Amino acid sequence: MKRHRSLRALTEGEKAGLVRLARSRRAAHRLVQRAAAILALAQGCSQRAAAARAALSPSVVALWIERFNGEGIAGLRDRPRSGRPPSYDELSKGRIIQAAKTDPRKLAMEFGHWTLDRLVVYARQHTGISVKRAQIHRWLRGEGLRWRKEQTWFSERSDPQFAEKRAPWLTFISAKGLPRPASSA
């Protein structure tokens, strides 16, 4: 079924806007194609020739003619499409990201750093949001936050006899010719 539509007369402002849009290097490619097709039609090309010039099918060009005739240049823009609604609103997402940026002790938690699993539990218990750790990871990555695993070797040792236990090891290294640590006497 062929759909042939005729283009209405353009105003000078619309012509200038279409030329600017058709030559744009920053606008979306789909929008540039649509503007080029409408501009070609305004210059006297047939619908088939305008479609070929813009690398579109003639039936698609007929759709954009119809939308342009009714709405002008604004009609060439994409309309919102249907799809699955977001599972989490921006407020919930923001609360979890804010918690991840906050020291857990300030939120009356018993630990000193966040893990993804701890954030999942916090979200469920304190905000009522049931969210998976992969989703929290995507949110944090989307905010430019880099998640790192806990590095326990940089924290204080919980073993009070750690220094005595490592002394023979240091003695062995020192005997091999490596520099000895400076003594604090």
SS3 137: helix
- Domain of residue 126, residue span: 90-149
**pLDDT score at 7:** 92
Q: Is residue 165 in some structural domain?
A: no
Show Cβ contacts of residue 121 under 8 Å, excluding neighbours closer than 6 positions: none
Q: What is the pLDDT along the chain (185 residues), one digit of tens a residue?
A: 456 678 999 999 999 999 999 999 999 999 999 999 999 999 999 999 999 999 999 999 999 999 999 999 999 999 888 888 888 888 999 999 999 988 888 988 888 888 899 999 999 998 888 999 999 999 998 888 876 655 544 445 566 666 666 655 555 554 555 555 566 55
The answer to whether the CB of 155 falls within 8 A of the CB of 138 is no
The answer to whether the CB of 97 falls within 8 A of the CB of 142 is no
64: number of Cβ within 10 Å: 24
Q: What is the number of domains present in the chain? A: 2
Token pair recorded at residue 86:
């977001």
Which of 33, 48, 76 terminates a domain? The answer is: 76
Q: Is residue 48 in some structural domain?
A: yes
